[in-house]
Amino acid sequence: MNLEILQTPIEYLKGVGPLRAAILRKELGVHTYQDLIQLFPNRYIDKTRYYKVNELQQNMADVQLIGYITHFRTVEQKKGKRLVATFRDDTGTMELVWFRGQKWIAENTKRDQPYVIFGKVNWYNGFSMAHPEMELFSQHEKSMRSAMQAIYPSTEKLSQKGISNRVIIKLMEQLFIATKGRFLETIPEGITQELKLLSKSKAMFNIHFPQSQSLLSRAQFRLKFEELFYIQLQLLSKNISRKTKIKGYVFEKVGHHFKSFYDNYLPFELTTAQKRVVKEIRNDLGNGAQMNRLLQGDVGSGKTIVALMSMLLAIDNGFQATLVAPTEILAIQHYNGIVELVKDMDIVVSLLTGSTKSAARKEIHQQLQSGALHILIGTHAVLEDKVHFKNLGLAIVDEQHRFGVAQRAKLWRKNHTPPHILVMTATPIPRTLAMSLYGDLDISVIDELPPGRKPISTVHRYDSNRLKVFRFIKDEIQKGRQIYIVYPLIQESEKLDYKDLMDGYESIVREFPAPEFQISIVHGQMKPADKDYEMDRFIKGETQIMVATTVIEVGVNVPNASVMIIESAERFGLSQLHQLRGRVGRGAEQSYCILMTGHKLSSDSKTRLQTMVSTNDGFEIAEVDLKLRGPGDLMGTQQSGVLNLKIADIVKDNEILKKARLYASVILKKDPKLAMSEHRVIRHNYFLLNKDKKIWNYIS
């Protein structure tokens, strides 16, 4: 079988040798035949098209022409000399230029026979081509060609050392000779037939030597599918093994608290999405395995009520629940909101934060251990080892990106059997990406806002329009609304940013003088108590303007605030802009978001601003963000290895990913251990991939 051949060190391939092998290893990470065969082209050039000289244009990529090469001459230049020849076809002439290998070219080029030349055209007082690939037309006609020529990844070092694209193609040819072009099939026949996939061998051949555009497309599809299929198989089986191995408390009842809340105290009708998510959570809580679920929902989509109803399920089954928020302000808001919702029910709720006084803390500890306390809401203080529950059944974490894995682990240890975990986030991660990143989390999405929300109206204004913006702010304040003005604060340039903030604050104070206007300011260099004091004044409506850095980004709920002004908006990432905008639009009034920038904007900045202006949909924004930044920069994906994909593209190949996941899940459902004979091919390949630890690289 080819398996062993593929493990051969690359220097043994004809045409490589130790010198080239060293370069291939260093520059492309190609150590073995296997690595080379998996060096997939970046793009292809259409070799079926022949251009005429009079069709050339100034900014063309590589082109292919047929004609005669004549009139060789040597031109002296500052350093050394160049060889120039005239290339002629029946429509005109151009120059061919060589800086190296001149003697050989001059002596071996045939002046009386047509050539096919190929390369990149340059224009400088006429067209020219440097170091063209050349082949006698008579040869060209005879040789077996692919319709499209592969262009492989390259580096400066590679081309310096003479390993051109052409050389790589030659090596690839050798590799196909050495392996006879036969590769182990990795996808079972059932799927191959259903999806009309090319066989592995045919796909490999056509990815490197496409015989037609359509065979190339099919080869790409097949290889991308294969890559994504095995990743999904790995992620899903990891998830399955968690479910079978980690036992969870069974909340079998939908009891009195849940029912009476639903019937009597729920202040609004749940949206369809909320209902669906509650159902998903209920299933998890009842099935005997520990729940590990990520709940994604855009800002304002109503995650809190879902959290509360899940906690009621815990209480109905004799368990306690906790809700942990990243900041004290948020914890307090959750506490107030939930106390209000359950005020007519016999449920005991407490708040535990860093500033809880020791007497109160003592009481909380006692009630937690006696079981008298049902719901504990708090900050990281809840995680401390000295906080013991009698019987914690469900832990909910709000805004997960402020919350590390280690902290999640602390929650796991708060009971004999780990409690169920629900992680809520308003940072939308495109679903497909989330699927490939969080194999060990199940995902729920609230993809619908409660009815009656007025979409936030977003505009982009230049700094030069500031006076108009100030006038607008005054009008809104006169109508009784409150305003956020946010400045960027990015760590590396903290001093400078801080100065911007203070300058901005002073100019706003000048423009909006007391006593008519009251202004709050909140930034990271203030003491927490001062921050809370300022925040509190704004929440109570004592101040009309809140000047702040991004500390207000997460969760704060001031329904009367209807204008969000973001200064130097070009310096924020898309997801951050969206988070900030989510601070307004929470009340009944029309809300506005104004993005302020200077005139100089990069094209990415423009795209970000346009995206914000054109949509309020967090998932749509996340998709654009993903395209702009690539998955590497998205929250939580840094070490996840999605970038190590060899051929698939997590963004562009979304549809293939979905298909791959579907097939993987159907197979695992039927045959979790891959023991059935029809899955032999998969089992075998899966084992090989795992042996090389290749797949593990993908796991976050």
Residues lying near ligand ADP in the complex (CB under 6 A) are found at 268, 270-271, 274, 297, 299-305, 426, 450, 557
Phi and psi dihedrals of 95, rounded to 5? -105, 145
What minimum distance in Å lies between the beta carbon of 559 and ligand ADP?
7
Q: Which does 297 bind (CB under 5 to 8 A by kind): ligand ADP, Mg ion, none?
A: ligand ADP
What minimum distance in Å lies between the beta carbon of 584 and ligand ADP?
12
What minimum distance in Å lies between the beta carbon of 301 and ligand ADP?
4
Give whichever of 267 and 515 is closer to Mg ion, judged by the CB atom.
267
Task: Find the helix or strand (DSSP H, E) in which 387 lies.
Answer: none
Give whichever of 268 and 687 is closer to ligand ADP, judged by the CB atom.
268
Give whichever of 158 and 486 is closer to ligand ADP, judged by the CB atom.
486
Q: How far apart are CA 587 and CA 566, in angstroms?
A: 20
What minimum distance in Å lies between the beta carbon of 302 and ligand ADP?
3
What minimum distance in Å lies between the beta carbon of 555 and Mg ion?
5
Residue of closest CB approach to ligand ADP = 302
Tally of helices (H runs) and strands (E runs) in the chain? 25, 21
What minimum distance in Å lies between the beta carbon of 118 and ligand ADP?
57
Taking CB under 5 A as the binding criterion, the range among 414-422, 550-558, 591-599, 644-652 that sits at the site for Mg ion is: 550-558
Give whichever of 85 and 338 is closer to ligand ADP, judged by the CB atom.
338
Give whichever of 325 and 546 is closer to Mg ion, judged by the CB atom.
325
Determine the length of the chain.
Answer: 700
Q: Which does 576 bind (CB under 5 to 8 A by kind): Mg ion, ligand ADP, none?
A: none
33 DSSP assignment: H
Close Cβ partners of 679 (under 8 Å, ≥ 6 residues apart): 188, 667, 671
Residue closest to 395 by CA, chosen among 367, 424, 436, 435: 424
Q: Which does 382 bind (CB under 5 to 8 A by kind): ligand ADP, Mg ion, none?
A: none
Q: Catalogue the long-range contacts made by 143-149 (C-beta closer than 8 Å, 24 or more residues apart).
A: 145/47, 146/47, 146/209, 146/210, 146/211, 147/46, 147/47, 147/48, 147/210, 147/211, 147/212, 147/213, 148/44, 148/45, 148/46, 148/47, 148/48, 148/210, 148/213, 148/216, 149/44, 149/45, 149/47
Residue of closest CB approach to Mg ion = 555
What minimum distance in Å lies between the beta carbon of 305 and Mg ion?
10
Q: Which does 274 bind (CB under 5 to 8 A by kind): ligand ADP, Mg ion, none?
A: ligand ADP
Q: Taking the mean position of all CA atoms in its chain, how far away is CA 14?
A: 41
Please give the structure tokens belonging to residue 320: 């306690």
The count of chain residues that interact with Mg ion, using the rule CB under 5 A, is: 1
Give whichever of 557 and 640 is closer to ligand ADP, judged by the CB atom.
557
Give whichever of 146 and 301 is closer to ligand ADP, judged by the CB atom.
301
Q: Which does 246 bind (CB under 5 to 8 A by kind): ligand ADP, Mg ion, none?
A: none
Q: How far apart are CA 168 and CA 36, in angstroms?
A: 9
Give whichever of 427 and 549 is closer to ligand ADP, judged by the CB atom.
427
Q: Which does 300 bind (CB under 5 to 8 A by kind): ligand ADP, Mg ion, none?
A: ligand ADP
Q: Which does 299 bind (CB under 5 to 8 A by kind): ligand ADP, Mg ion, none?
A: ligand ADP
Taking CB under 5 A as the binding criterion, the range among 266-274, 446-454, 555-563, 646-654 that sits at the site for Mg ion is: 555-563
What minimum distance in Å lies between the beta carbon of 612 and ligand ADP?
18
Please give the structure tokens belonging to residue 477: 């304040």
Task: Find the helix or strand (DSSP H, E) in which 698 lies.
Answer: none
Tell me the C-alpha to C-alpha distance, in Å, between residue 222 and each of 228, 641, 660, 680, 691: 10, 21, 11, 19, 23
What minimum distance in Å lies between the beta carbon of 297 and Mg ion?
8
Interhelix angle 272-286/303-316, rounded to 10 degrees, is 30
Task: Find the helix or strand (DSSP H, E) in which 52 lies.
Answer: none
What minimum distance in Å lies between the beta carbon of 448 and ligand ADP?
9
CB 435 within 8 A of CB 657: yes
Give whichever of 274 and 568 is closer to ligand ADP, judged by the CB atom.
274
Q: Taking the mean position of all CA atoms in its chain, how far away is CA 553?
A: 20
CB 625 within 8 A of CB 586: no
What minimum distance in Å lies between the beta carbon of 271 and ligand ADP?
5
Give whichever of 147 and 396 is closer to Mg ion, judged by the CB atom.
396
3-state class (DSSP) for residue 205: helix
Q: Which does 550 bind (CB under 5 to 8 A by kind): ligand ADP, Mg ion, none?
A: none
Taking CB under 5 A as the binding criterion, the range among 213-221, 339-347, 387-395, 553-561 that sits at the site for Mg ion is: 553-561
The count of C-alpha atoms lying within 13 angstroms of the C-alpha of 574, restricted to the half-sphere facing its C-beta, is: 32
Close Cβ partners of 676 (under 8 Å, ≥ 6 residues apart): 670
Between 63 and 102, how does the x/- string for binding to Mg ion read (CB under 5 A)?
----------------------------------------
The count of C-alpha atoms lying within 13 angstroms of the C-alpha of 154, restricted to the half-sphere facing its C-beta, is: 18
Give whichever of 271 and 400 is closer to ligand ADP, judged by the CB atom.
271
Q: How far apart are CA 51 and CA 129, in angstroms?
A: 13
Q: Which does 353 bind (CB under 5 to 8 A by kind): ligand ADP, Mg ion, none?
A: none
445 DSSP assignment: E
What minimum distance in Å lies between the beta carbon of 458 and ligand ADP?
18
Give whichever of 248 and 582 is closer to Mg ion, judged by the CB atom.
582
Give whichever of 188 and 555 is closer to Mg ion, judged by the CB atom.
555
Task: Provide the H-helix boundaries in 318-380.
Answer: 328-341, 358-370
Where on the chain is the footprint of Mg ion (CB under 5 A)?
Answer: 555
